[in-house]
Structure 1
């Protein structure tokens, strides 16, 4: 694959409307793996190829993993610097006078093959050793066709929701409930706005805290974090936390009824749409 084809993959993100999600992915890498230090464009390419961890062949060998037979690489863009002597070279008199031949520094780009973590096998990586417990409502996620998986995380990232996937960097049930609520909210309103929308985040967090109290095991231990989370997004919307919660209470009720199957799914979707 050449540089032009690689850049075309990035442009395709714009054409398919995925760019807001891709930018969030590339701006806030989930943890300290090699690709988190790549250029912004190369992290976009990771998003395009649905991976949070991509490395070169030898990088995988360095962590005792091997690329699976038949796996296909994708290509990132890497700069190369070179120097060459300026023509014409210095003459003998100039050399005798201590004049060195000048060099010209040139910069060009090449493509480098890398492989997704899913296309490798071997010793488990640190983040693969996160064991997700038998979380309440996991069966609901499965019913909706969501893939729930453990992923690397850092202090800014504990969970993420995509259209067909919930990625968790913690075993904390509230984080799972938050991401599951995002999916339920998307079913209720039709489609979520890209990025961190204050309304959507408060709906998900308030729903998650309610689910902790209804069927969870650790409600009280997460209440303070939920309040701070909601207060942050309420401030963004120019409201206090209580007012912001009242603004979204209808959506929260619909989300909870949908998740807990208290009403047929189509009824909840129609009720909010009206």
Structure 2
């Protein structure tokens, strides 16, 4: 019974990909930071936020900024550095778009950068920071699969660069949207990693496996508005060509089925070993 249900959903999805006849797309959403949960890093450049993530934290501030929220940097803690622009006011020539005439105007101009030391949240102690629950009112289907596998799922605002991610080393799924397809996608990565270790980065094969699994699960649970987004993502992974995208999907089909079956087994342990 389970094999038939999975196979039917997968065949329906492949048929839609091949024909291009996809249901209307739903609008994607991103989690926005709520009032009271603002962080200085929210205003940092993408490069500085990347330095923060590479330092292994999601919140970093200067020494005085931590003191302002009742926390203190631990003795011996080492800072990492971000870059802040140095500006000077200079006269620049501006051309009026309507008349074409040039005029001088004073504007701030970046003339260099300076290093600013900041410390990770994990290297501070003191008053607890406000905790905001960003989880959706209703958790997505198969949420218990991640729990049973010992994988932590965290909903939180992101930097806008992605909807979610899976960190194999931490056994954690990070979600920056309540869209159910993103949870399915990252869950597929987590399960795929138990079958064979994932390689780092945006590997096209791994991404197509996860996205095909996610779209199939959306079909099973009635979330029909995500197939269009899934197909666009798969095409991008295959270089933008629909024929190449279909070939790539067919190439990874065995892995897709293996991941789907593993998810189903974890979700329904009572069916394990049953002929049905």
Distance 1:159 1:129 in 2: 17
Count of matched residue pairs? 202
| 1:55 to 2:55 alignment | no
**Shift in CA distance, 61/227, structure 1 to aligned 2, threshold 3 Å:** farther
Contact 1:72 1:115 in 2 (8 A): no
Offset of residue 110 of structure 1: 7.6
Runs of 4+ in 1 over 6 A off after TM superposition: 68-72, 262-265
Question: Greater RCO between the two (CA within 8 Å, min separation 6)?
Answer: 2
Contact 1:206 1:226 in 2 (8 A): yes
Distance 1:160 1:35 in 2: 19
Distance 2:230 2:175 in 1: 17
**Shift in CA distance, 237/144, structure 1 to aligned 2, threshold 3 Å:** farther
**Correspondence for 2:203 among 189, 197, 202:** 197
Offset of residue 212 of structure 1: 1.3
TM-score, normalised relative to structure 2 = 0.60
Distance 2:250 2:48 in 1: 41
**Correspondence for 2:265 among 248, 261, 264:** 261
Contact 1:76 1:113 in 2 (8 A): yes
**Shift in CA distance, 56/244, structure 1 to aligned 2, threshold 3 Å:** same
Q: How does 1:166-181 map to 2 (within 5 A)?
A: 166-181=173-188
Distance 1:211 1:194 in 2: 24
Offset of residue 210 of structure 1: 0.8
TM-score, normalised relative to structure 1 = 0.60
Contact 2:215 2:227 in 1 (8 A): yes
Greater percentage in helix: 1
| C-alpha RMSD of the superposition | 3.9
- Extract unaligned runs of 5+ from structure 1: 1-30, 81-106, 266-274
Distance 1:78 1:235 in 2: 35
Offset of residue 131 of structure 1: 2.4
Offset of residue 43 of structure 1: 4.0
SS at 1:176's partner residue? helix
